[in-house]
């Protein structure tokens, strides 16, 4: 076999619902965030020890944890920013998790998604955390500032807000920082439950671009967040996977993209992918190769994709406007990991092919992908 | 949707096409996919052989068809051999050390932190307000679509209003619509340009690059070794990505950063930057980087190959030749070096002055001829001391030799006047040859002695020796090059 192969290295069953899994940078440890049956939040730290996992630490808090990130913390302190079910954002020092370094009630409902940047990038602007919640708001936080977000992107108050909150408000499901290649430039891509995709420019403080996709957006990631934006991968309900070429913005057509409608399609008979379409929950680019990424889908499968650039990435249309050209997507490998959706996945930032995945079957898996360097 | 329809009807494929003969002939990949889908569905019955045949045909027509995407159950780590898991275990231990170093660092100086950029000024982006703004400035597909029908609605002429229809000029209307579109496009372009312009201004600021550099150096100085390595590695990987995407300028920039961060272990970054420079046809810088890499890792074959390539392209063919030979010393079976060497040998031959001849002296053990030697190759061999009837210029072709070491050309032109040999100087020349051999040669002494012995013979048996040009009387060659072979 000369193509990459995904292998389950270690498997750990837990007694709670796993919501997020993240490697601690420059370590052999990862964090599992979840919700206990009594809806308390739980944070477990596991360490890789050759062929077994050792639980190093376990922390319990009042509200269930939804999502976390190390993006805004430096290599030295490695604090974790966590969003919970009560709309609270806290930054924890994993050595002393009892007292939060920073704690703010940011949203009225669950914090669905979180992303952060600026921790390990030098000369790339302030460390910031962005959270998106069920209340439809997107808020950017700087932990050096008090209890107010530095940027607040909230939908306007609507009829029916308040006690009897209607479902009119959009639900922000996915967020990603990008285009952060110097001290000023910074973008946030936000995906909403109705398929809205918005690109907020934090330098110009406005909406740079927006589009609406057929289905609700579950996962978003720039291939690299700290370079002039290159590609944006978007996953949706009903098995959609779109990769936008973010190099060239056409004045009217926006960014071009390649779409794969069957990314979440499940396995039919004899292992051939022909079954019904399922949600693609997450997309994660390989930190060592930005053109290879993995999607985790609702059928419990994970799939490895490679983006192939076109011969020319830009062409001029008849009016002299530049328009981007999207490339092609190739599925490299697909395996069934679980019977439940695989909704969280994290590549180790420092080791090619090592990853941790969380699924709704209450288990965490450490995966090894071989031969990724051959792609 | 078409619940009642069978796949056959949906795809409009006649049932007669589900046939070995048709499958054999069919060249349309799309149709083949449909046939495979129908056969797999089993709606028309179960034909395992036909299905297989159709799948094989499809594989030929469209090897990357989505129908061949398969998914397997994940395998456990026991499928991996021990040696495949070992790197991961090793890595685990290594990273744990780094982890500990970092934790200690954290204990050391929690106060001292890198100077972070200031906190952003608090702002609010109002989504809806922005939407209206954008629709004014930039006709995003949705908003622009709405106002147009509205405006036409206002002016809509009733079908019965004949007086107005009389005044209606379709050409004018079309022109107006065109103009409107044009204006929208212009506005959109202006907006986009603004975005791009602000970007350009940023790039202008690069004139302050030097101060920037100093600040960066100060930042780097604050970092620990572990962190520096980490950053350097990140930049190097990013450079690799740019390189893969064929964006060589960006790749060079990233590699430069990597080198800045960790100069002591930058061999790979230098090496990669060298190849990026090669791709940019900047050979001098490529040579510099290869040399920097070789200083850190003297036996890096890749760097040597790149250095040779850069030298060649810069026009330093002899240097390039020498480097390729060094590669062969390190890796005798390096095919690319061999190939390039072969090419170079022809060209280096061409490089010699047009009127020069090259005498080839090949050394063979007295009883066994080296296998590499081509039988038809005429050479002055050791055992057969130069006979008076040395074959004419045929001996002289450089391409027939297989040198392993750097060949040195001894210009004996001064010694050889046209058709006349200065006897007294040949002996010293031979000695000089022997002497240089001693210095450069890695091969046994015996060979050297043989060489000297031969040269003495040459000197003593002067009467017998006729140099090539004396044999071909008509030629005007007055230069003799002896290519040293070992």
Give tens-digit pLDDT for B288-327. Answer: 899 999 988 888 888 888 898 888 888 888 888 888 888 8
Torsion of the alpha carbons at A67, A68, A72 and A76, rounded to the nearest 10 = 180
CATH superfamily of B224-344: Tetratricopeptide repeat domain (1.25.40.10)
Percent of chain B with pLDDT over 70: 59
Kindly list the domain boundaries of chain B, sorted by start residue: 7-65, 224-344, 355-483
pLDDT at A362: 92
Residue of A45, A174, A162 lying closest to A108 (CA atoms): A162
Under DSSP, the state recorded for B97 is: H
Chain A CB contacts of B238 below 8 Å: 224, 227
Give me the residues of B, 240-269, that contact A with CB < 8 A: 241, 244-245
Six-digit token string for B162? 């004949």
The DSSP-derived string for B338-355 is HHHHHHHHHHHHHHS-TT
CA distance B400 to B421: 26
Residue of B442, B464, B448 lying closest to B384 (CA atoms): B464
Res. B144 pLDDT band, cuts 50 70 90: very low
For chain B, the average pLDDT equals 70
Of A48, A273, A368, which is closest to B77 when you measure between CB atoms?
A: A368
Question: What are the structural domains, with CATH classification, of chain A?
Answer: 5-159+167-374 (2.130.10.10)
Residue spans of chain A under pLDDT 70: 1, 157-168, 268-271
Q: Which has the higher per-residue pLDDT, B208 or A302? A: A302
Contact state of A154 with B105 under an 8 Å Cβ cutoff = no
pLDDT at A245: 93
CA distance B479 to B352: 11
In the block, tokens 């809509």 appear at B156
In the block, tokens 């922005």 appear at B130
Contact state of A148 with B122 under an 8 Å Cβ cutoff = yes
pTM of the predicted structure, to 2 decimals: 0.71
Q: Which has the higher per-residue pLDDT, A213 or B11? A: A213
Give tens-digit pLDDT for A125-175. Answer: 889 999 999 988 999 999 888 888 999 988 876 655 555 555 567 889 999
pLDDT of residue B124 exceeding 60, the answer is: yes
Percent of chain B with pLDDT over 90: 4
The DSSP-derived string for B286-303 is HHHHHHHHHHH-TT-HHH
CA distance B192 to B184: 12
How many CB pairs (< 8 A) connect A and B?
A: 216
Contact state of A126 with B189 under an 8 Å Cβ cutoff = no
Q: Residue B269 half-sphere exposure, CB side, CA atoms within 13 Å?
A: 26
Judged by DSSP in three states, A364 sits in strand
pLDDT of residue B400 exceeding 70, the answer is: no
pLDDT of residue B444 exceeding 80, the answer is: no
C-alpha distances in Å from residue B153, one per residue of A162, B145, B319: 39, 13, 79
Of A28, A200, A205, which is closest to B92 when you measure between CB atoms?
A: A28
The burial of B274, by beta-carbon neighbours within 10 Å (0-12 exposed, 13-18 middle, 19 or more buried), is given as: buried
pLDDT of residue B403 exceeding 60, the answer is: no
Q: B250: distance to nearest CA of chain A, Å?
A: 10
Six-digit token string for A170? 């959009």
Residue of B361, B393, B385, B399 lying closest to B484 (CA atoms): B361
Chain B CB contacts of A356 below 8 Å: none
Six-digit token string for B438? 């001693």
CA distance B299 to B331: 10
CA distance B250 to B205: 18
pLDDT at B367: 55
Contact state of A29 with B126 under an 8 Å Cβ cutoff = no
Angle at A249 between CA A243 and CA A251, to 5 degrees: 135
Give tens-digit pLDDT for B452-486. Answer: 665 555 445 444 444 444 444 444 444 444 444 44
Chain B CB contacts of A252 below 8 Å: 139-141, 144, 184-185, 188
Of A126, A204, A262, which is closest to B120 when you measure between CB atoms?
A: A126
Lowest mean pLDDT among A174-188, B308-322, B395-409, B423-437: B395-409
Angle at B273 between CA B251 and CA B328, to 5 degrees: 140
Res. B11 pLDDT band, cuts 50 70 90: confident
Q: Is B71 on the interface with A (CB under 8 A)?
A: yes
Lowest mean pLDDT among A227-231, B91-95, B123-127, B387-391: B387-391
pLDDT at B473: 42
Six-digit token string for B25? 């002939």
Chain A CB contacts of B226 below 8 Å: 26, 75
Residue B87 makes CB contacts below 8 A (sequence gap 6+) with none
β partners of residue A297: A280
pLDDT at B21: 86
Give tens-digit pLDDT for B148-204. Answer: 444 444 567 777 778 877 877 888 888 888 888 888 888 877 777 766 655 555 555
């Amino acid at each position: 076999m000369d193509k990459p192969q995904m292998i389950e290295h270690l498997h750990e069953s837990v007694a709670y619902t796993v919501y997020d899994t993240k490697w601690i940078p420059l370590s052999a440890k990862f964090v599992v965030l979840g919700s206990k049956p009594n809806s308390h939040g739980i944070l477990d730290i596991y360490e890789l020890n050759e062929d077994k996992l050792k639980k190093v630490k376990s922390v319990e808090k009042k509200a269930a944890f939804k999502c976390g990130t190390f993006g805004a913390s430096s290599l030295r302190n490695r604090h974790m920013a966590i969003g919970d079910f009560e709309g609270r954002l806290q930054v924890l020092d994993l050595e002393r998790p009892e007292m939060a370094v920073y704690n703010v009630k940011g949203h009225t409902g669950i914090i669905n998604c979180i992303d952060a940047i600026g921790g390990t990038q030098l000369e790339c602007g302030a460390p910031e955390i962005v959270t998106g919640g069920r209340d439809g708001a997107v808020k950017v936080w700087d932990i050096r500032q008090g209890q107010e977000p530095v940027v607040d992107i909230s939908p306007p108050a609507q009829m029916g807000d308040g006690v009897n909150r209607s479902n009119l408000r959009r639900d922000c499901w996915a967020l990603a920082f990008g285009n952060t290649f110097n001290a000023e430039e910074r973008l946030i891509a936000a995906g909403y439950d109705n398929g809205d995709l918005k690109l907020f420019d934090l330098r110009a403080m406005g909406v740079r671009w927006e589009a609406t996709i057929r289905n609700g957006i579950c996962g978003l990631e720039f291939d690299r967040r700290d370079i002039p934006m290159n590609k944006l991968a978007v996953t949706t309900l009903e098995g959609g996977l779109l990769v936008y070429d973010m190099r060239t913005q056409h004045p009217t057509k926006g960014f071009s993209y390649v779409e794969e409608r069957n990314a979440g399609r499940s396995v039919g008979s004899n292992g051939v992918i022909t079954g019904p379409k399922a949600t693609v929950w997450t997309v994660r680019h390989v930190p060592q190769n930005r053109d290879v990424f993995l999607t985790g889908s609702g059928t419990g499968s994970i799939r490895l994709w490679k983006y192939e650039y076109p011969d020319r990435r830009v062409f001029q249309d008849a009016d002299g406007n530049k328009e981007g050209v999207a490339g092609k997507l190739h599925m490299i490998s697909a395996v069934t990991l679980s019977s439940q959706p695989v909704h969280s996945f994290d590549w180790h930032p420092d080791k090619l092919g090592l990853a941790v995945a969380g699924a709704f079957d209450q288990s965490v898996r450490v995966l090894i992908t071989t031969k990724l360097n051959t792609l | 949707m078409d619940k009642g329809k069978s796949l056959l009807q949906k795809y409009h494929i006649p049932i007669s096409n589900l046939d070995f003969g048709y499958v054999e002939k069919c060249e349309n990949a799309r149709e083949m996919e449909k046939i495979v889908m129908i056969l797999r569905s089993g709606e028309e019955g179960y034909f395992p052989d036909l299905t297989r045949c159709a799948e094989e045909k499809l594989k030929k027509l469209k090897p990357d068809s989505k129908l061949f995407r398969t998914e397997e159950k994940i395998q456990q780590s026991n499928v991996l051999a021990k040696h495949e898991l070992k790197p991961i275990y090793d890595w685990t231990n290594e990273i744990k050390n780094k982890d500990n170093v970092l934790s200690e660092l954290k204990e050391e100086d929690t106060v001292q932190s890198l100077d972070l950029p200031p906190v952003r000024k608090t702002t609010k982006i109002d989504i809806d307000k922005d939407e209206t703004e954008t629709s004014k400035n930039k006709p995003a597909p949705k908003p622009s679509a709405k106002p147009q029908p509205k405006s036409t609605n206002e002016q809509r002429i009733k079908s019965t209003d004949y007086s107005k229809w009389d005044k209606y000029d379709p050409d004018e209307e079309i022109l107006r619509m065109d103009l409107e579109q044009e204006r929208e496009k212009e506005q959109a372009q202006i907006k986009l340009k603004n975005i791009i312009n602000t970007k350009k201004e940023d790039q202008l600021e690069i004139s302050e690059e030097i101060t920037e550099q100093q600040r960066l150096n100060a930042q780097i100085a604050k970092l620990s070794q572990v962190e520096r390595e980490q950053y350097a590695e990140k930049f190097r990987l990013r450079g690799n990505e740019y390189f893969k995407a064929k964006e060589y300028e960006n790749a060079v920039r990233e590699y430069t950063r990597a080198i800045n961060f960790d100069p002591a272990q930058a061999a790979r970054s230098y090496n990669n930057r060298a190849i990026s420079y090669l791709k940019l046809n900047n050979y001098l810088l490529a040579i510099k980087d290869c040399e920097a890499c070789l200083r850190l890792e003297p036996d890096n074959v890749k760097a040597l190959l790149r250095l040779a390539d850069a030298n060649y392209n810069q026009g330093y063919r002899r240097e390039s030749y020498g480097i390729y030979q060094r590669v062969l010393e390190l890796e005798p079976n390096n095919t690319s070096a061999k190939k390039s060497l072969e090419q170079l040998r022809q060209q280096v031959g061409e490089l010699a002055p047009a009127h020069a001849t090259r005498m080839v002296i090949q050394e063979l053990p007295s009883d066994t001829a080296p296998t590499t030697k081509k039988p038809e190759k005429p050479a002055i061999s050791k055992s057969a001391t130069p006979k008076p009837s040395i074959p004419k210029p045929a001996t002289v072709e450089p391409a027939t030799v297989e040198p392993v070491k750097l060949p040195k050309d001894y210009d004996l032109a001064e010694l050889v006047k046209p058709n006349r040999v200065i006897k007294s100087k040949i002996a010293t020349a031979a000695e000089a040859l022997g002497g240089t051999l001693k210095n450069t040669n890695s091969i046994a002494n015996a060979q050297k002695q043989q060489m000297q012995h031969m040269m003495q013979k040459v000197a003593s048996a002067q009467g017998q020796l006729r140099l090539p040009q004396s044999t071909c009387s008509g030629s005007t060659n007055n230069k003799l090059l002896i290519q040293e072979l070992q």
